[in-house]
Structure 1
Amino acid sequence: MHRFKDLEIWKLSREFCSHIYATTANFPDNEKFGLTNQLRRASVSVPSNIAEGCSRNSNKDFSRFLEIAIGSIYEIETQLLIAYDLGYINQLELDKLVNNLDTIIKMTSKFRSTLTI
């Protein structure tokens, strides 16, 4: 078992989640139950799945939760691109957020590859 609070990928994804909440606070009110909710739920899913995976007794199970976290990251990237298309975020915001996502994906994938299954 791993201690999720010690994992850099958990720390970064938790911080990223806060960025998503701040970004979506500026979305139109009519997106409250749409894109805002989707982005927030997906961003919460990343550190949550990392933490839940840490509680598992096997690296195989943990690896599966990391895979789910990576899936949520790709979901977030798609939703951010849609937010950009709709004019809710600008190119600079999009680039910054996607850059952060890329870092989290690379770190999570690398960490996942070190697990002996």
Structure 2
Amino acid sequence: MRYRNLAIWKRSRGLSISVYKYSLKIRDFGFKDQLTRSALSVPSNIAEGFEKNYTKEKTRFLSISKGSLGEFATQVDIGVEVGFIEKSIGNKWMQEAEELSKMIGKLIQIIKS
């Protein structure tokens, strides 16, 4: 299965692009850097995992991607609270992160079985 065909890769790629575009207005470099790195890590690790030959490697990179979603959601939550991110955008991103995390969890189960 090619990673580019996966709905989860397409959605996480879209989320990452959205974050990068929005982050242009964030002036705190450290926060912006951390936020964009965690968002970019999700589709990147999905792609890397699906380029691996072994189940254990695939699931390891998917797990890293899932962890990056938790990191991203935490950063978004804090970004909303400190005024770096508009609440409506933050809520949308956190909801997408939660849905993607569930999708990755299911995909890991499928690959392991």
TM-score when scaled to structure 2? 0.94
Identity %: 35
Counterpart of 2:17 in structure 1 is 18
TM superposition shift of 1:91: 2.0
1:73 corresponds to: 69
Provide the C-alpha distance between the structure 1 equivalents of 2:86 and 2:39, rounded to a whole number of angstroms.
19
CA distance in 1, matches of 2:31, 2:40: 14
| Separation in structure 2 between the aligned mates of residue 8 and residue 90 of structure 1, nearest angstrom | 27
**Cross-structure match for 2:106:** 110
Q: For residue 62 of structure 1, report the CA deviation from its aligned partner.
A: 0.2
Q: Which residue of 2 aligns with 1:41?
A: 37
Tell me what 1:93 maps to. Answer: 89
d(CA) in 2 for partners of 1:109 and 1:19? 23
Determine the C-alpha separation between the residues in 2 that align with 1:14 and 1:20.
Answer: 10
Residues 71-95 of structure 1: CA deviation (Å, up to 9, x unaligned): 1001101111111121112221111
Q: Note the residue ranges of structure 2 that are not aligned, 5 or more in a row.
A: none
How big is the shift at 1:116? 2.8
CA distance in 1, matches of 2:112, 2:67: 21
- Return the offset for 1:38: 0.7
Instruction: State the Cα distance separating 1:60 from its structure 2 match.
Output: 1.4
Aligned length: 113
Q: Which amino acid aligns with 1:50?
A: I
CA drift of 1:113 comes to 0.8
Q: Which residue of 2 aligns with 1:8?
A: 7
Mapped partners of 1:23, 1:16: distance in 2: 11
Separation in structure 1 between the aligned mates of residue 112 and residue 41 of structure 2, nearest angstrom:
24
Q: Give the letter for the 1:81 counterpart.
A: D
Give the superposed CA RMSD. Answer: 1.2
SS in 2 for 1:115: helix
Higher helix share: 2
